[in-house]
Structure 1
């Protein structure tokens, strides 16, 4: 597994892999830093803006941790601090690098930052960008995907479950497909390893609900129940 280094600068604590960003600094976690160098190559809107930038011939994703739901309307990005090891950025970085070392289809986490504010913290994470990939939701708005892809999705989810990896937000937006038809899973915030078996069926059902939700919202969403059966088949055979 990659050797994760740690550095404290003022009220910020950084984790990083020095083979990607050897001269790590707190400024690297700010989009303005990369914009000033004309290195932003794109952005995506979701719960806040995610930025993509290029550095040292690598493409990266910069994501700031933001709250969702009702509480997110009042407290946008502050979290209660109960120890560095429990912060969302540090948990996600260690989890992703553990999975990456096991050759699971997830992006590698390159760096994370936690900024203390009294009893609270804010956080950011930098990941490797998956090359030439789109999320499956966007693809299904335009075209159907082959049966083999749905089968692969089931296989990939089973791979995670065999390692007892729980994905907190397993939905169609967090499944990526690259130009080589490889499936990737992203967004492992609030995820981790879980014991037992009972949660796995609920995890699959969460994905199924997200498909029905998008089908109801988008009449041209190119998904059908038969696709879900192919996904389950891949899961059982995976």
Structure 2
């Protein structure tokens, strides 16, 4: 998977997979462009909005615009301090996904990143391939429980991520996916990075546990019990 970098106009920069079947320019990162072509297939709400598009037969992409959360997000919704292209969130996420794909990790395939620099700030977007026939574990657990094997496999996949020393900034139940072949995937690597040592790994797992407990207190139908997390830990420890 080779990546190439180029700029379109002053301030617009792209980093992209050289093998994607289309020319890369700024319109690819605009939802209204895809909508005008009738190729927008859906949206998903998160901190921002993820747009799903089908650029051609056999291709299904997720386009995400980087947004801030929390209080600062109300004041500065989608602007970040610019300290060089390699330090931007889009460049870092794309390169981390490339690293993980090279090590056969079940994460989204990166397609292209885009930044628009204005003075000391920038805005950014990322395109990845959609994981076919998959749903996040949050939606699944609102309908049915996972099997013992699915919980154990979830723990194994997280252990593999940690063996590559990758810290997931937002490891929660919505960022774990299950496809129709029972493969577990991890998504959303914004602000994630490789870290030394092991102390942070337990904290990563505790974050996931908190997300399960939070849903247990907020969802009307939540098909989860504490012993399920014990199964996940068993898979993690035996991987």
Report the TM-score when normalising by structure 1. Answer: 0.98
User: Which residue of structure 1 aligns with residue 3 of structure 2?
Assistant: 4
Residue segments in structure 2 that go unaligned for 5+ positions in a row = none
Q: 1:49: Cα distance to partner?
A: 1.4
For residues 144 and 99 of structure 2, what CA distance do their matches in structure 1 show? 34
In structure 1, the residue corresponding to 2:62 is in which secondary structure? strand
1:55 is the counterpart of 2:61: no
Which 4+ stretches in 1 moved above 6 angstroms? none
Residue segments in structure 1 that go unaligned for 5+ positions in a row = none
Q: 1:219: Cα distance to partner?
A: 3.6
User: Which residue of structure 2 aligns with residue 178 of structure 1?
Assistant: 179
For residues 45 and 159 of structure 2, what CA distance do their matches in structure 1 show? 29
For residues 21 and 198 of structure 2, what CA distance do their matches in structure 1 show? 38
User: Which residue of structure 2 aligns with residue 16 of structure 1?
Assistant: 16
Q: Once the two structures are superposed, what CA deviation does each residue of 1:156-212 show, in whole Å capped at 9, x if it has no partner?
A: 000010010110000000000000110000000000100001000000000000000
User: Which residue of structure 2 aligns with residue 25 of structure 1?
Assistant: 25
For residues 76 and 95 of structure 1, what CA distance do their matches in structure 2 show? 24
User: Which residue of structure 1 aligns with residue 136 of structure 2?
Assistant: 135
User: Which residue of structure 1 aligns with residue 218 of structure 2?
Assistant: 217
Q: 1:111: Cα distance to partner?
A: 0.1
Residue correspondences, number:
237
Alignment map for 1:1-238 (pairs within 5 Å): 2-10=1-9, 11-56=11-56, 57-238=58-239
Report the TM-score when normalising by structure 2. Answer: 0.98
In structure 1, the residue corresponding to 2:142 is in which secondary structure? helix
Superposed CA RMSD in Å reads 0.8
For residues 54 and 20 of structure 1, what CA distance do their matches in structure 2 show? 13
For residues 49 and 164 of structure 2, what CA distance do their matches in structure 1 show? 31
